[in-house]
A and B are shown apart, each in its own frame.
Chain A
Amino acid sequence: MVLDISGYTLKIKNNLLLDHAHLHFQPGGVNHIVGKNGVGKSRLAKDFILNKSGFFPKHLSSNLTVISSYSNIPEDISAKLLFKILIKRYDRMMLDQLSDLLNIENIPSNILIKNLSDGQKQKLKLVSFLLENKEMIILDEITNSLDKTTVNEIHQFLNIYSRQHSNKIILNITHNLSDLKNIEGRYFLFQDKKLVQYENKDQLIKIYIEE
């Protein structure tokens, strides 16, 4: 599956965020989408789910997973109960594989998730939502406010995961430039209400910093 949308326009009330942009995302690797705060990165992610713009095919919303600050796992249950619920619905083997890749065996399973660290919660969130095994995955600022060790673990995880699932379209919406440096993929920048692709991450970073 390749996502190719021409003339994409994203507007929130009177604020035009993207104007006749060309969205072209391929499977394999990670499609990094970079932009300053307020340019509409998260709005774009939300539009993939809600399709308020009406540009996306109807089936797309049910074929994608969004992992973000607005897709939390419940914090008033324990990790043990979380896994118990997930196993009822999803493949146990996949759960184990994802858990191994993210080193979550060290997370205490009997205490409430709200008492875990942000990094531990983020790992549980990744494992939970990736179990959906959808064709398209949108990661929206998933390394924000995390400690360096967890960020490195998530980078490492995403490199392995994207290689193992080369048929999936993975979008990584971020303003954390270390994501670009550490995760291989394609690079897009919100620029002049368009989404501009750069062949070279260094070129994108230079323009992003100078903007």
Chain B
Amino acid sequence: MIEFAKSLFNKVFMFLALIFLLSFLIGWFLPIGLDKVTFLSYREYLFSTYTVFTQFGFLMFSFIIAFFVNKEYSNKTILFYRLLSYDSLKFFLNKFAVLFIESLILITIFLSVVSMVYQDFSLFLLMVFLLTSVVTQYILIIGTISLLSSNILMSIGLSILYWILSVVLVASSDKLTYVAVFDASNYLYRHINQVFAQGNSFISLSNVLTVIVYNLILFLVSVLIGKLMNKRWLKLGID
């Protein structure tokens, strides 16, 4: 409850909503403005929006996620969380849960509006699944980096460095495909492109599982780090 209230009072939810709005707008303007497409179909628009989320997500989401975690260090409220019997893991999971739920709500709202405008809901579920998975990835990676660093600029910098490194690694070897599953150079992106172009409503089961397992592994790594860094969490909170 406290995290939801805080996210409303310190305008995290509002900024999150603005980032989603911006992403959906860029998804519209890129093909219209840059590619000079005269008519953007429902499928083309949603695929463009998906591309924006996967290609610019680290840049757009890093500040708000890092802020939501790091401000507790800078505001020196970690001992208050300890007062409420939080440890570093519970602290992280609560932050993650709030950002995840708020993102899911916003994704559902924005996709509903787009689908209503186009009067086509054929990709609604797939897009909810894909965008939620992409954003979950950002919350887990940037959130974990922010938990490890008390400085917001450092958290943002490290997150962007992680993003660049993961893209380079994926491009350098087929064996490193799973380092950044959603990257545009990856097979999953091409598969999704085909699904959108061929008029299908969902991606293959194996790719659904790949996405779920990828986020599950990220989640387990985050949980492990959250569990192990209790003393560092306290230290960052009081130093």
Q: Which residues of A contact B (CB under 8 A)?
A: 46, 49-50, 65-66, 69-77, 81, 85, 89, 112, 128-129, 131-132
Contact = CB atoms under 8 A, between A and B. Distances in A.
Contacts of B237: 70
6 contacts: A46-B239, A50-B231, A50-B234, A50-B235, A71-B79, A75-B75
B168 to A, nearest CB: 37
Contact of A85 (B76, B84, B235): B84
Contacts of A77: 2, 5-6, 9
Contact of B2 (A72, A81, A112, A128): A81
A129 B84 CA distance: 10
A91 B65 CA distance: 34
Given A50-B234, A77-B5, A81-B2, A72 B83 contact: no
Closest 10 CB pairs of A and B: A71-B79, A76-B10, A70-B238, A70-B76, A76-B9, A72-B76, A76-B6, A74-B77, A72-B77, A73-B80
Contacts of B83: 65, 128-129, 131-132
Contacts of B84: 85, 89
Contacts, number: 57
Nearest to A84: B1
A81 B234 CA distance: 24
A71 B238 contact: yes
A128 B83 CA distance: 8
Contacts of B75: 72, 74-75
Contacts of B238: 46, 49-50, 66, 70-71
B119 interface: no
Contacts of A75: 75
Contacts of B77: 72-74
Interface in B100-120: none
A112 B80 contact: no
B206 interface: no
B85 interface: yes
A131 B10 CA distance: 26
A146 B223 CA distance: 41
A49 B230 CA distance: 12
Contacts of A132: 83
Contacts of A65: 83
Contacts of B239: 46, 70
B135 to A, nearest CB: 23
Contacts of B76: 69-72
A124 B220 CA distance: 37
